[in-house]
Amino acid sequence: MKLIYIYLFIFILFAKNVFCQDAHLTQYFIAPQMINPSAFGVINSFEAGFQYKSQWNAFTKGFTTYSAFVNKQIPNNRQDNRGFFSAGLHFGYDRSGDARLTAVNGVLPVNYSLKLNDHQFLTSGVSAGFFQRSISGVEQTWGSQYDGLNYNASLPNENTGRQSMVKLDVGAGIALINKKTKRSFAANSEPSNTFGLSVAHINKPRYSFYRSNERLAMRFNVYESFNYCFNGSPYSISPSLMFQYQGKATETILGAMLHYKSGNESFITGVKKPSEYGFGVYYRYRDAFAINAFAEIKKIMFGISYDINTSTLLKTSKGRGGLEVFIKIKNSNYLYKRFGKW
């Protein structure tokens, strides 16, 4: 437990310098390394997926976001070793507004999972990569191009800055994963919870197009998720809470998913693969409600969500928020070797 307190102290020191804002996805839990480089590699030994989101197109060109990821647990067959490594790769693309502000990022997260006891793992991870920002001057207009009567595109504009930049980006995180499990891992015996802390943009890279000293603020994130299984029932519920802030921007998401699992997976042979279906509602504070649904058949999971706007933009957006879809492939073969008997 002393190790946990040390990590918490370090993250508190990081948090006091937090400023600015990043792109985000409603189904943040699909690509865990997007918010925390330590939040993968324990529950599933392998994951790969793709997400797409389109938002605010009701009154502007809005946001278009793509996210692709892959991560894998690195098997460790040494019986005297209480930990193992996992590594991944995340790629993101986001375009918004008339200026076509484009953000591209590629990140390599690596973490180490330490077994505390038969039911708990403490994971700590770091991520390093790049982010690239660019704008297009094609549809930008400036006050200096107004000739006194009309707009004249042939007049000189005020865009004297650069159109693109590439910067190093560094992040870190910790997560405590608890799974009260039995050796059989029957469909109804998998209650669990995960608590995580992370900080992004630790190096606070400069991001101004005008070569000023403006720096991208660190993003601080804290979240808790549960999976509660009803005894003797194929149903389970997964409530979760996430809070993050970056500069003057904050985001709080609270919600839950109801799961139904059909069939049991064989612990010995792994031949019979259960199917799982889920439906849930999430609320992003002072912004939107999100309706989520997913289906998981064998190792493939796909889902959809839609944001219903509730903020002061409601009159303009008419409640239309954003459509988000995903597909994910996952494997949990090594899971049974990591929990329960070592």
CATH code for the domain of 38: 2.40.160.40
Domain that holds residue 219: 2-338
**Mean of all residue pLDDT scores within the chain:** 79
- In the chain, DSSP assigns E strands to 46-55, 63-73, 83-96, 101-115, 120-134, 164-179, 192-200, 219-229, 235-246, 249-262, 275-284, 288-297, 300-309, 320-331
What is the length of the chain? 342
**At residue 71, does pLDDT exceed 90?**
yes
Q: Tell me the mean pLDDT in the region 123-152.
A: 75
Q: Tell me the mean pLDDT in the region 297-313.
A: 88
Would you tell me how many other CB atoms lie within 10 Å of the CB of residue 100? 15
Whether 274 and 264 have beta carbons less than 8 Å apart is answered as yes
Pairwise pLDDT comparison (228 vs 328), residue with the higher score: 328
Q: Tell me the mean pLDDT in the region 312-338.
A: 74
Q: Tell me the mean pLDDT in the region 48-75.
A: 85
In this prediction the pTM is 0.78
216: pLDDT confidence band, cut at 50, 70 and 90? confident
**At residue 126, does pLDDT exceed 70?**
yes
Q: Which residues contact 51 (CB under 8 A, 6 or more apart)?
A: 25, 27, 30, 31, 65, 66, 67, 68, 324, 325, 326
H or E element, residue 337: helix 335-338
Q: Tell me the mean pLDDT in the region 144-161.
A: 63
Pairwise pLDDT comparison (45 vs 304), residue with the higher score: 304
Q: Tell me the mean pLDDT in the region 44-66.
A: 84
Q: Provide the pLDDT for residue 161.
A: 55
Nearest alpha carbon to residue 56 among 325, 326, 314: 314
**At residue 232, does pLDDT exceed 50?**
yes
The domain tally of the chain equals 1
Strands 101-115 and 120-134: antiparallel
Q: Provide the pLDDT for residue 231.
A: 77
Highest-pLDDT range among 54-63, 146-155, 181-190? 54-63
Question: Which residues face 83 on adjacent strands?
Answer: 114
Q: Provide the pLDDT for residue 268.
A: 46
Of 176-185, 286-295, 312-321, least confident by mean pLDDT is: 176-185
26: pLDDT confidence band, cut at 50, 70 and 90? confident
In angstroms, the Cα distances linking 159 to 60, 100, 103, 104, 212 are 22, 14, 19, 22, 14
User: Structure tokens of 322?
Assistant: 């954003």
d(CA 16, CA 268): 49
**Tokens 């529950």 belong to residue:** 43
Nearest alpha carbon to residue 241 among 195, 293, 277: 195
Give one DSSP letter per residue of 201-231, joined into a string.
-TT--B--TT--S-BPPBEEEEEEEEEEEPT
336: pLDDT confidence band, cut at 50, 70 and 90? very low
Q: Provide the pLDDT for residue 277.
A: 95
H or E element, residue 4: helix 2-15
Check residue 33 and report its DSSP letter: G
d(CA 260, CA 234): 6
340 burial class (0-12, 13-18, 19+ CB within 10 angstroms)?
middle
Nearest alpha carbon to residue 84 among 45, 142, 30: 45
d(CA 170, CA 151): 43
Q: Provide the pLDDT for residue 340.
A: 40
Q: Provide the pLDDT for residue 19.
A: 35
Check residue 57 and report its DSSP letter: T
Q: Tell me the mean pLDDT in the region 102-117.
A: 92
**Tokens 């049974």 belong to residue:** 336
